[in-house]
Amino acid sequence: MLTSEYDFLKKFLKTRSGLVLSDEKQYLVESRLMPVARRHDLKGLSELIQTLNKPGSTSLQNDVVEAMTTNESFFFRDKTPFENFRNVMLPHLLEARKSRRSARIWCAAASTGQEPYSLSMYLKEDKAKVGGFRFEIIGTDISSEVLEKARTGIYSQFEVQRGLPIQMLLKYFSQQGELWQVAPEIRAMVQWRKLNLLENFSHLGEFDIVFCRNVLIYFDQQTKIDVLNRIYRQLPEDGFLVLGAAETVVGLTDGFEPYPNLRGVYRKKKTATAPAGGTSFSRPATSTSTSTTKPTKPTTPTRPTRQILASGSRF
């Protein structure tokens, strides 16, 4: 591949997906894009690059972006974020949202779905605590291919062995030959949408928790700042932002601060000024029900709550 061709692909991928490729990644580009070229009956990468610029090449452009996107994921990945969700974030929401009895969770760059399904299984496990609450979980990704896999909830033996406790495998999956499928009641708890984080996502509305793990590491500095500032405007004052273990908001935005004693979890600074271009969100009213379990008291002050979309899973 010529240097000029590789430079074109780097620019194309950064513009379309935010992915920043270093010069030493050329081998990776070639190995991932050659199958795409063959699938589109192109002779090689040079012809693929030429075709990307032609009208009507939308399908090829999408396939190139999807081929270069890292889709690594597994159940209860890194464990700590899910323990923080179960032990701190969830009890806080049960108390702070008890008037409306609903909450929304966004898993950005959800890949093949293990993260949203892991959260769903914990909610099922804690059914006695969350009875009467409605949880809406949205999983988004730039790749149509991985979203389709997420929707079906079918995983290989290797995939279910990565981080998934055997008790949950037997409880929430059914075996289909050498494959395992997530139970219908768990799949029904998650909504899937195709979304590019570089584009406007204000239409998704406000979320109480945003998981945006292991995706910012692929972006340049300015793109990270932009995405974080826009996520800031999707969160209420007591909302949670969860990043990957190798990610941080330090040096990127003054809007967030680390949540005390929770690695990888951030909250809005109490004295922060909202980034420019903030958006207000409203939520249509939803029905309420009575809980028989007294939620754990939150560790941070609560704020006035808003109503939520009527979709989601009720326990």
What does the pLDDT look like over 57-88, one tens digit per residue? 888 888 888 887 766 677 888 899 999 999 99
Q: What are phi and psi of 110, to 5 degrees?
A: -75, -10
Q: Evaluate whether 62 touches 142 at the Cβ level (below 8 Å).
A: no
pLDDT of residue 273: 63
- pTM for the full predicted model: 0.74
- Please name which of 190, 118, 210 lies closest in space to residue 147, comparing C-alpha atoms: 190
pLDDT of residue 300: 42
Q: Is 141 a catalytic site residue?
A: yes
141: Cβ contacts below 8 Å, ≥ 6 apart: 109, 110, 111, 147, 150, 192, 194, 195
Round to whole Å and give the CA distance between 108 and 88: 20
pLDDT of residue 28: 78
Q: Hey, what's the torsion of the CAs at 201, 204, 210, 216, to 10 degrees?
A: -20
Bridge partners for 267 per DSSP:
257
Q: What is the DSSP string of 27-41?
A: HHHHHHHHHHHHHTT
- Please name which of 134, 66, 108, 50 lies closest in space to residue 247, comparing C-alpha atoms: 108
Choosing from 16, 32, 162, 283, the catalytic residue is: 32
pLDDT of residue 190: 97
Choosing from 63, 141, 208, 238, the catalytic residue is: 141
Q: What are phi and psi of 91, to 5 degrees?
A: -60, -40
Tokens 């974020």 identify what position?
Answer: 81
Residues of the chain with pLDDT under 50: 277-311, 314
